[in-house]
Amino acid sequence: MTIILKPVTRENWEEAMDLQVNESQKNFVPSVSVSLAKVYIKPDGENVEYLPFAIYDDQKMVGFMMHAYEENTTYSYWINGFIIDQKYQGNGYGKSALKEMINWITSQFSQCEEIRLTVNKENKYASNIYQKLGFQPTGDVYGDEEVYMYPVKRMV
């Protein structure tokens, strides 16, 4: 497996829009179209930038995730809209893609001290994966979702 994050562009956006989770997971994550709309609409304010990524295993698109951030902060670095297509779930893509995104964020933003995401309270499978990778619940709730935080450890 070779996980690569590539920006969603005019060349691959239609393929990204075809990505689907299982029917039982549809209440847990927004569709790719909703995530892509956020890039333009900016529902979290003008200071938040949204970077949508397609997740590839070599040349095969297997998922989608978005990074949202406020550049002049140490804490406002989010992973959201994260899905692995139903055809590719259970193969380790989610865990590998999450690690890749953490590495990308920390290499791009030296001031980043924590990465956050939200998870639906009923999505125990995702909660377990996030916690195994070092994300911990903050106790905060956003809508129906719990906020998790990953502390960035940097070499001094």
- Read off the pLDDT of each residue in 127-153 and give the average, rounded to a whole number: 93
For the chain, percent of residues with pLDDT exceeding 70: 98
Q: What is the pLDDT of residue 1?
A: 83
Measured CA to CA in angstroms, residue 126 lies from 80, 110, 119, 122 at distances of 12, 27, 7, 9
Which SS3 state, helix, strand or coil, does residue 129 take? helix
Query: Is 21 in contact with 83 (CB distance < 8 Å)?
Result: yes
Domain count, the chain: 1
Confidence of residue 156 (pLDDT cuts 50, 70, 90): low
Q: Is residue 135 part of a domain?
A: no
Q: Is residue 37 part of a domain?
A: yes
- What is the DSSP annotation of 3-39? EEEEE--TTTHHHHHT----GGGTTTS--HHHHHHHH
Helix, strand, coil in percent for the chain, rounding step 5: 30, 35, 35
Q: Is residue 55 part of a domain?
A: yes
User: Mind listing the pLDDT tens digit for each residue in 21-38?
Assistant: 988 888 898 999 999 999
CATH value at residue 19: 3.40.630.30
Range of the domain at 77: 3-116
Does the global pTM surpass 0.95?
Answer: no
Q: Is residue 138 part of a domain?
A: no
User: Mind listing the pLDDT tens digit for each residue in 61-94?
Assistant: 999 999 999 988 988 999 999 999 999 999 999 9
Q: Is residue 150 part of a domain?
A: no
Confidence of residue 118 (pLDDT cuts 50, 70, 90): very high
Q: What is the pLDDT of residue 119?
A: 94
Q: Is residue 136 part of a domain?
A: no
Q: Is residue 155 part of a domain?
A: no
Q: Is residue 153 part of a domain?
A: no
Q: pLDDT averaged over the chain?
A: 92
